[in-house]
Chain A
Amino acid sequence: MGALEQLLNHPGLWRGRGIGTQENISVRPSGFAPLDEALRGGWPRGRLIELIGGPFGCGETRILLPMLADCAAENLRVVLVSPPAVPWIPGWQQLGVPPEQILLIRTEHVDDAVWSCEQVLRHPGIGAVLVWLQQPGIASLRRLRLAAVAGESCAFLFRPSAAAAQPSPAHLRIRWQGAQNHLRLEIFKNTGGWPARNTPVHIPVEFGIRHAPPR
């Protein structure tokens, strides 16, 4: 037995233990049970997450709101870097993200956006960074990945649909597609997780509605 124990404890022997259970990575629950299950707990922190799809406005921001509300509740900021539209603050506030926690950074060049993200990601006190980039170079993506790992926040990178075909150093890559009242999420890369599943996750995007039919 002793010899076996010794063998099993040998540092050169890898037994596949710990695979799939992202023990060393802390996560933030996404607020949606099926998504949490697919992501093994929630949105990973200190990882670069790509959300690929289009066009803007299908509900891809909305699915992050429960997580962002958690950040705000912990007194952590939510930073939006070069979004394609202006956030409507009362809407965010009703969903749990107060105005003082929202920070908008406007940039003109991709370089400036990536640089700003690096600054923000490396900083404590930031819960999540949402950045919209059209065509970031592979070097920019690497920089973002490094910055994300250096920090504790959730880093979300929104990219157009065409990006799914390109390789990327992001830890987690998710393709999304707007369906009727749902967002269809397909995880096709998850570094350090289970092999990607083919079954997509459906998330409702119409929450937050109080129906009040017109008289």
Chain B
Amino acid sequence: MHPRDEPTKPIRVRRHSGGFGTGNSGQLALLPAPEQQPSGDPEPVSGRALWMAVWLPHLALDALAQTGSSRTEPLIVVEDDSRPRVHDGNRAARRAGVGPGMALADALAVLNAPAVFDYRPELMHSHLETLSTILLQFSDHVCPEPEQHRILLEIGRSLRLFRGLEALCRQVRETLRRLGYSPCIGVAGTPAAARLLAGLRNSPRPVDHHALRQMLSPLPLTTLPLSEIAIDALRDVGLNRIGDLLRFPRADLALRYGSALPKLLDRLLGHAPETLPRFQPPEHPSFRLEFDQEVASSEALRFPLRRLLLQMEQALYARHRTVQHLELLLTHREDRTAMTLERSHPGHRAEAWLELWSIRLSRQVLPAPVRSMRLTATRLLPVRETAADLFGSSRDATERNGFLARIRARLGNNAVLRFEPTLHPLPEWAQIEQPMEATGPDAAPVVTPAQRAPGTALWIHPPKPCPPPASPEWLGRLEGGWWLDGNDQRRDYAHAHDRRGRLRWIFKDLRSGQWHIQGFWG
């Protein structure tokens, strides 16, 4: 067998079609190298660099599930380039035999009235960007590859912080799963190998060069991001496994199959460097969800909002920031509804925010069905470092005020009141009602001697004239206010039982001799 007549043709970049089958065929794609550097001497890379590839094979389905529409009937996502074909299908569709790459007409013949959605690349890109923002918590070097639904992270420097490779992988996976995505993770010393391993089931995690080579060698060529034609060409000369290629002299490979193939191999093993751009997160984290069906009730917004809040939580966590204020924008067919929510104290926990938002939403009348929603954090606050306080008082204060935010969200700001003492001697002016704020009064409140004179009554109301009591128990005398025009008061305080058995708090105005009721003794 001799190679076909295309050895000098560069390896075609295969358009990523999903690759959701059980096999390993064509799960990876090779990006065309933008820079044409000659494959010179193998350059050793630092053994410390470690790359993680997070591949989202079912991103299109995950994105649909975000809006809360979970379906058990067949659902297919259709992409439409030259001819419409299936991009991905849910479990029911796959069970019926519909897989990626199948023509839409064939799929419709097999499935009984499936739900059909358009594949929208720009939506996938925004999801990838959201996830990149979130993955910044695990590494400072994050590089999304939107076309392949893949994100690469440099994790060599994060291992110690996250207590080892296994723990880190588990955390990445858990984080993404909690947000409703289903990731495949590959870890290797080079980005190219990590990409390849992400496509394998139960892939090992070679950390050094030797292990990587050993691991790659038995893999079939189909795991390489090569076109079928190129793979056929290699098979024709008897090269079936990656190991066969690795043993082959690079120069000969380049001569026969173009320079891209040896470059790929060098990048796999780390002999050739591969520089990846760094992802820069947007200044204000803002997450958007578009519904495939309009949502008419505010109750139904809860589930998608939870998704957004979870994303926000992770994004804030990644930046080590927190928020006190969130904005939610609901887009209707014609207009939009803007809502804001401010809390008594900053925080980023999604569950806490969700509770407040649910209360807020339940009291919101939607003018029209909602088509999409966007959650934005405009003011990012630094996380207040809670020093190891012996009595945990600062944490306590935050904990203690959590329920207040809920009550205020439902009943309004003026429903929850605290009292601030003044130093005024007259009981009716001795206190001010104030809406409960996060910070309580700091000044140590004191009771002035004048305020002690009227006794320790518990309840107060404005003075009302009353007939003289039968047997008052005297409490004390209050004189004052002569320096204020018209406020000259001389009162003798007492408490007395009234006819209904109540213990009233009363005083006798010494100027007029008139008795007044001021409140209740207890």
Decide if A and B are genuine partners: yes
Which residues from chain A sit less than 8 Å from chain B, CB to CB?
A: 55-63, 65, 75, 77, 83, 85-95, 98-100, 102-107, 112, 115-116, 119-120, 122-125, 177-180, 205-206, 208-214
Ordered nearest first, which 8 A-B pairs have the shortest CB separation?
A62-B522, A57-B520, A88-B460, A125-B400, A178-B501, A85-B459, A208-B456, A59-B522
Q: Please report the C-alpha to C-alpha distance between residue A62 and residue B455 in the assembled complex, in whole angstroms.
A: 13
Q: Which residues of B (493-522) have their CB < 8 Å from a CB of A? A: 495, 497, 500-504, 519-522
Contact A94 B419 (CB under 8 A): no
Contacts of B416 in A (CB 8 A): 103-105
- The answer to whether B455 and A61 touch across the interface, beta carbons within 8 angstroms, is no
Q: How far is the CB of B6 from chain A (nearest CB, A)?
A: 72
**Chain B residues with Cβ under 8 A from A59's Cβ?**
503, 521-522
B235 part of interface (Cβ distance < 8 Å): no
Task: Using CB atoms and an 8 Å cutoff, list the residues of chain B in contact with chain A.
Answer: 396, 399-400, 402-403, 406-407, 410-411, 414-421, 427, 430-431, 433, 436, 440-441, 445, 447, 451-452, 455-461, 473-477, 492, 495, 497, 500-504, 519-522
Contact of A205 among B410, B500, B519, B522 (CB under 8 A): B522
CA distance A99 to B421 in the complex (A): 7
Supposing A99-B431, A107-B415 touch, asked if A58 and B460 sit within 8 A by C-beta, the answer is: no
8 A-B contact pairs sorted by A residue (CB < 8 Å): A57-B504, A58-B522, A63-B522, A94-B452, A103-B418, A106-B411, A124-B399, A212-B476
**Cβ distance B122 to chain A, nearest Cβ, rounded Å:** 43
Q: Quick one: closest B residue to A85, CB to CB?
A: B459
Judging by beta carbons under 8 Å apart, are B458 and A212 in contact?
no
Does A89 contact B503, Cβ atoms closer than 8 Å? no
A-side contacts of B418, CB under 8 Å: 99-100, 102-104
Contacts of A211 in B (CB 8 A): 473-475
- Closest Cβ of chain B to A50, distance in Å, is 18
In the docked arrangement, what's the CA distance between A98 and B445, Å?
Answer: 7
* Pairwise interchain contact A91-B502, C-beta atoms closer than 8 A: no
A90→B417 contact, CB < 8 A: no
**Known contacts A102-B419, A125-B399, A214-B492, A95 near B503 by CB under 8 Å:** no
Closest to A211 in B: B474
Alpha-carbon distance A112/B430, docked complex (angstroms): 29
Which among A63, A90, A104 has the highest number of chain B CB atoms within 10 Å? A90
Q: Is the CB of A123 within 8 A of B402?
A: yes
Q: Select which of B396, B410, B458, B492 is within 8 A of A62 by beta carbon.
A: B458
Determine the residue in chain A with the shortest Cβ distance to B457.
A91
Q: Which of A56, A88, A100, A180 has a CB less than 8 Å from the CB of B441?
A: A100
Cα–Cα distance between A118 and B410 once the two chains are bound (Å): 13
Taking a contact as CB atoms closer than 8 A, the residue among B407, B417, B458 that contacts A92 in the complex is B458
Contacts of B477 in A (CB 8 A): 212, 214
Contact check: which of A85, A125, A180 meets B460 at CB < 8 Å?
A85
Q: Which residues of B contact A209 (CB under 8 A)?
A: 455-456, 473, 475, 495
Residues of the B chain whose Cβ atoms lie less than 8 Å from the Cβ of A83: 459
Q: Are the C-beta atoms of A119 and B407 separated by less than 8 Å? A: yes
Q: Tell me whether B520 and A85 are in contact (CB under 8 A).
A: yes
- A-side contacts of B457, CB under 8 Å: 88, 91
Taking a contact as CB atoms under 8 Å apart, the answer to whether A214 and B520 are in contact is no
Q: Chain B residues near A107 (CB, 8 Å)?
A: 411, 415
Return B332 CB to nearest CB of chain A, in Å.
30
Taking a contact as CB atoms under 8 Å apart, the answer to whether A93 and B445 are in contact is yes
User: Which chain B residue shows the least CB distance to A93?
Assistant: B447
Contact A213 B474 (CB under 8 A): yes
Query: What is the bound-complex CA distance between A63 and B441, given in angstroms?
Result: 27
* A92 to B430 CA separation, bound complex (whole angstroms): 12
Complex formed: what's the CA distance from A55 to B504 in Å?
12
From A60, A104, A210, contact of B476 by CB (8 A): A210
A57 near B399: Cβ-Cβ < 8 Å: no
Docked Cα-Cα span, A103 to B436, in Å, equals: 8
- Residue pair B415, A85 in contact (C-beta under 8 Å): no
Report whether B458 and A87 are in contact in the complex, using a CB–CB cutoff of 8 Å.
yes
Query: How far is B396's CA from A75's CA once the two chains are assembled, in angstroms?
Result: 10
Pick from B441, B473, B522: contact of A99, CB under 8 Å: B441
Q: Report chain B residues within 8 Å CB of A180.
A: 497
Chain A residues near B440 (CB-CB < 8 A): 100
B438 to chain A, nearest CB (A): 13
> Are A86 and B475 CB-contacts (below 8 A) given A100-B445, A178-B502?
no
Q: Is the CB of B502 within 8 A of A58?
A: yes
What's the minimum C-beta distance from A150 to chain B, rounded to whole angstroms? 13
- Residues of chain A with a CB closer than 8 A to B433's CB: 86, 104
Minimum CB distance partner of B461 in chain A: A85
Q: Which residue of A lies closest to B400 (CB)?
A: A125
Q: How far is the CA of A120 from the CA of B519 in the complex (A)?
A: 27
A87 → chain B closest CB, angstroms:
6
Q: Report the minimal beta-carbon distance from B228 to chain A, rounded to whole angstroms.
A: 62
